[in-house]
Amino acid sequence: MNVLLRLAYKGTRYAGFQVQPNAMTVCQAFQDALEAVLGERPDVKGCSRTDAGVHALDFALNFHYDGHIPPFRLVLALNAHLPEDIRVKSARPVPEDFHARYAAHAKTYCYRIRNSAVDDPFDWDTCWRTAGALDVAAMQAAADQLVGTHDFRAFCAAGSGPAAHGDTVRTITACTVERRGELVTVTVTADGYLYNMVRILAGTLVEAGRGKLDPAALPDILAKGDRRRAGATLPARGLFLIRVDYPEQALQPAENSAPKAESPES
């Protein structure tokens, strides 16, 4: 049986999702729980490779196993063995060829900014704080320039795989900036992401909010592909994966065709 699980986790204590040899990761903690429940350690396919400190409200993963525990019982069973900062939210069977990463046709991330002179002790590890005033209207005007299909070389960490091979075209379908009191949230939906793309995008919008970048300059930054003209890479702690979308046919019986692969955000 191929099982799709949805997780929520706070990434503060972890070196990202993917297993690493010398650091605790979300995947390692999850596989430890799987082994405790199933008596085996199946290979896990995650929807994305999140960086150290990045959080998730709706992380998708799948794995195959031949046991007899029904998916709905896996939720409580796994949660009983997981640390409190990782929780399984749901489980369901999916076609045998379903892959949590390659089947995704859109992912939504948000970046949380506390616009205040003082940290909030309750969310300091899930927000990035900046004291200077932010003009949210200017940030939204800049965000509007990023919607559509573009070459996002300027919004990719230098030396990363896609940047090195020229595979840097992505489609952003929505990019919004919202303020609620001191909290400013940048939310992005796209068909795929480059390495550090959302964190660089958020840093660029902050420059617009500070009045240091004209929103009208964004098309030229995209066209020139110059990383130096985009904003800083903001810290990982403000980044959340908030939704992974799959075409309905990808979740249905296996006779349906396999979906097109998409690039992950890291």
Residues acting as catalytic residues? 51
Task: Label each residue of the chain as H, E or C.
Answer: CEEEEEEEECHHHCCCCCCECCECCHHHHHHHHHHHHHCCCCCCEECCCCCCCCEEEEEEEEEECCCCCCHHHHHHHHHCCCCCCEEEEEEEEECCCCCCCCCCCEEEEEEEEEECCCCCCCCCCCCEEECCCCCHHHHHHHHHCCCEEEECHHHCCCCCHHHHHCCCEEEEEEEEEEEECCEEEEEEEECCCCCCHHHHHHHHHHHHHCCCCCHHHHHHHHHHCCHHHCCCCCCHHHEEEEEEECCHHHHCCCCCCCCCCCCCCC
Query: Is 111 marked as binding a ligand?
Result: no
Q: Binding site membership for substrate: which residues?
A: 109
Q: Binding site membership: which residues?
A: 109
